[in-house]
Structure 1
Amino acid sequence: MDGLRQQKVLQEMHEIKRQENDAMKREQEEAYAALYNANEQKVRLEQRINEIELYVKDNEDKLATNKHQLEVLQADYDRLQHERDAAIREVAELREKNQQRVLAPSEAPNTKFSLVELQQATQDFDQTLKIGEGGFGCVYKGILRNTTVAIKLLHPQSMQGQSEFHQEASKSFFKEPTFSVTESASVLSTIRHPNLVTLIGTCPEVFGLVYEFFPNGSLEDGLACKNNKPPLTWQIRTRIIGEMCLALIFLHSNKPHPVVHGDLKPDNILLDANYSSKLGDFGICRHLIQTNTCSTTLYQTTNPRGTFSYMDPEFLTTGELTPRSDVYSYGIIILRLLTGKPPQRIAEIVEEAIEQGNLHSIIDNSAGSWPFIQANQLAHIGLRCAELRRRRRPDLAVDVWKVVEPLMKAASMTARPLSGTNLSDDTCTPSYFICPILQVNNRSNISSIAYQLSCDDEQEIMNDPYIAADGFTYEGEAIKGWLDSGHSTSPMTNLKLEHSQLVPNRALRSAILEWKQQEQH
């Protein structure tokens, strides 16, 4: 019995020992498994650390490279900013010089012509040379001092005598004019701009005014295809819109007093041999007086005059003439150039077409295939300018020019000359890229030295354009040759130059380079 009990106790102890061994074995296996997992995790972590270190090193290299590039870009930005600031200062100086070109209001044109000279220029006022006639008098084409000119003779009964003619040709426009054409003479004799008609001189003996001649007549003639001339292309029309915008900005920002044209219409926009436009006939224009309170004194009349369809409605009702009166007329002209339609109700017609999504149906197809985006932009800016309420019209220099300028540049890139211009049929060179001295049709105005230059470089695009004292841009070599040969007058206007200083036209040079690059592509 004792042996069996002892054996049982031993068996129990053996079983307990076996269980303890099994438990220790399981704990050992678990410890080995945990150690194995820890080793694997350690290897993975070491690999990840190596990857992160490589990534950090790679990014440090990229960061260093980017930092260097940023420093280079910052240096380029600082340089371009400096050049931009210098260019802005130069533009401001040029604008100030242009404004300083305005003569004193009391000065009359400094060129006087005799009656004999006018008779010789027009073959004793031959009727075949008459190019215009109206209530003011007659206009003749003539050759005066080797220059083709337009000679306007005023009817004597429209004036109060020769003394009043002198008074009208030099007064400051602060009162109602006796005769509108002499008002034009006064403005054009005191202000110079490439897009304003140049008054060459006067003939007091017969109340005569001598202007530069425009072989392509007025914009109204161009729109009407007068004398069987081809329709104005959309590129030319866009350029005219831009040029008139520049002319009005110049007049409205004139110092010391802004100038309002007051009778802006296609009849008063004249086209030269290259279909560049110039604004003339300042019949009811006014200088507006700046007061000490920095406000502008409006011109007011009880008898508004002008062409009804182009006249500011508020001017008609209030008699107050302001720069925004010109903006209204300018808007009507934009819409006319776009559609070719008469001015009556043209804003309503265009607005209705836009609302119906039918603008293309009223665009003047005789001008060629208008790019619709450009046509749409012109329609909208034209309508804004032609707003009935003055305060809703845009500012030309701020709002209108930023729309018109890129359209003008884009049009010049695709421009093709009309037949009858002095550019060859196989060229699309914008006319203002060519030096006026070197153009074939301008040889009557240049000396033998400049003529020799034209024989060598005829019709070549300017490489080094310079602005002279007359406001025109010339090829540097050509204008320097003109001045070095002893000339003190403008090759374009024959008027005496105020000085012989030349200013680089960097903006035009940049446009020419850009145009050449696009031509190469």
Structure 2
Amino acid sequence: MPSPIPVTRLLPKDINPFLDIGTCSSPLAKYSFGTSLQVPVQRFHGKVASRLWSTVIHWKELISVQPVGSGGFGSVYKAEYFGETVALKKVKKCTKNKLASRQSFWAELNAGHLRHRNIVRVIAATTCVPPGFGDEGSIGTILMEFVGDRNLHQILYACVEPLGEDKWHKYATDIAHGLRFIHSHSVVHLDIKPANVLVSREDVCKIADFGCSLKLDYKCEFSAISPHLSHVGGTYTHRAPELLKGEELTPKADIFSFGITWWQLITREQPYTGDRQHVLYAVVAHNLRPSVRDQDHPVFGSEQGRQVRTLLGRCWSGEGLCRPSAQELLLHLEQLRPQT
């Protein structure tokens, strides 16, 4: 669970990055940018020694900052850092819900220690901003790898180029690989949707925006949803029924969201129309799901289309136990790989 406790209460005093905000000096070693910023194992121990992201941002090395976009809890910028292009995310203070914005910042770091081809890599994160950087309204700042200027939402709804079967199959497989990896580390994303999947210049999908994520208790397969976690749930069109009902949380919530996202990849349509509250009620009470009828989408009329339709039905089942795991999902996707 993301913690609203200030990082000064979480880190040992000898690596507290806020003791000298003028110089932002750091005991963390800087390795080649192609790997990560790491803590020297010979000096520190335990969780600190295994941290792969820096607790200090070297502000003087951050140049050419340009705005890219903004969301509910923050803004994203493109910048140069030690000569490399990075993404800079500033999590802003939300006057209406300060707890939710604070939780969003700490949730972003649930996957900060993870390294995978299909996950956006965290480089550094801090709540310390030296004077003169104009970040008074920010809770914290996160540096991440810069994937590119495109996300799946833009590719689906703002591009005219065709999205063939081989392409949407590859994108779906990339997402499933990312989900298998984070789930194996007890992290649940909780906001899988096209806008939160970035696409690199090499056409590789990377899961981004962990602001709604949770770290599950390693002793359990599930975790009860605390009423105090006001940021939990993600986008309503992709939200699993158990989240809407306040039931136990498992990685299968991400599989439900994957199913909706995969349907969007195939159809390039929005999953629902109508009033938000009506959709939320219908998803839980009447098992409302996007249409997979042949007459609405001929792609589902082929033999392979019928197999896809069956797998989609399992992914967005109302019962989490009936949904495949990310590992099982990958096996099914391999069987559905287009013949070349």
If the length of structure 2 is used for normalisation, what is the TM-score? 0.69
- Counterpart position of 1:132: 69
Question: Of residues 61, 64, 88 in structure 2, which corresponds to 1:117?
Answer: 61
Unaligned runs of 5+ in 2: 1-45, 130-134, 274-282
Structure 2 counterpart of 1:325 = 253
- Mark the structure with the bigger radius of gyration: 1
Distance 1:322 1:349, change over 3 A: closer
Q: Distance in 1 between matches of 2:122 and 2:160?
A: 27
Residue identity opposite 2:105 in structure 1: V
Matched, 1:407 2:336: yes
Superposition map of 1:60-459 within 5 A: 104=47, 107=51, 109-110=53-54, 112-118=56-62, 120-122=63-65, 129-155=66-92, 178-184=102-108, 186-202=109-125, 204-205=128-129, 206=135, 207-225=140-158, 228=159, 230-254=161-185, 258-291=186-219, 295-302=220-227, 303=230, 304-344=232-272, 348-351=289-292, 353=293, 357-358=294-295, 360-361=297-298, 363=299, 372-398=302-328, 400-408=329-337, 410=338, 413=340
Q: Give the Cα separation in 2 of the matches to 1:317 and 1:264.
A: 19
Contact 2:87 2:145 in 1 (8 A): yes
Matched residues, percent identical?
A: 26
Paired residues of 1:216 and 1:222 also in contact (CA < 8 A): no
Query: Is the helix fraction higher in 1 or 2?
Result: 1
| Higher relative strand content | 2
- Return the letter of the residue paired with 1:263: D
Using CA pairs below 8 Å that are at least 6 residues apart, which structure has the higher relative contact order?
Answer: 2
Q: 3-state SS of the aligned residue for 1:289?
A: coil
Structure 1 contact 269–278 (Cα < 8 Å) conserved? yes
Distance 1:200 1:220 in 2: 25
Q: Sort the Cα spacing of 1:250 and 1:107 in 2 relative to 1 into closer, same or farther, 3 A.
A: same
Amino acid at match of 1:115: W
Quote how far apart the aligned CAs of 1:239 are. 0.7
CA distance in 2, matches of 1:182, 1:221: 27
Contact 1:269–1:280 (8 Å) recurs in 2: yes
Q: Deviations over 1:473-518 (max 9, x none)?
A: xxxxxxxxxxxxxxxxxxxxxxxxxxxxxxxxxxxxxxxxxxxxxx
Distance 1:229 1:152 in 2: 29
CA distance in 2, matches of 1:324, 1:150: 29
Q: 1:371 to 1:276 in 2, by over 3 A?
A: farther
Q: Distance in 2 between matches of 1:176 and 1:372?
A: 45
The 1:145/1:301 distance shift into structure 2, 3 A limit, reads same
Matched letter for residue 309 of structure 2 = A
Q: Which residue of structure 2 aligns with residue 92 of structure 1?
A: none
- Are the aligned partners of 2:111 and 2:182 in contact in 1 as well (CA < 8 Å)? no
- Residues 349 and 288 (structure 1), Cα distance of their counterparts in 2 relative to 1, 3 Å cut: closer
Q: Quick check: 1:334–1:378 contact (8 Å CA) kept in 2?
A: no
Distance 1:219 1:338, change over 3 A: same
Amino acid of the residue matched to residue 245 of structure 1?
A
What is the rounded CA distance, in whole Å, between the counterparts of 2:101 and 2:92 in structure 1?
A: 16
| RMSD (Å), alpha carbons | 3.2
Query: Residues 377 and 198 from structure 1, CA distance in 2 versus in 1: closer, same or farther, beyond 3 angstroms?
Result: same
Count of paired positions: 268
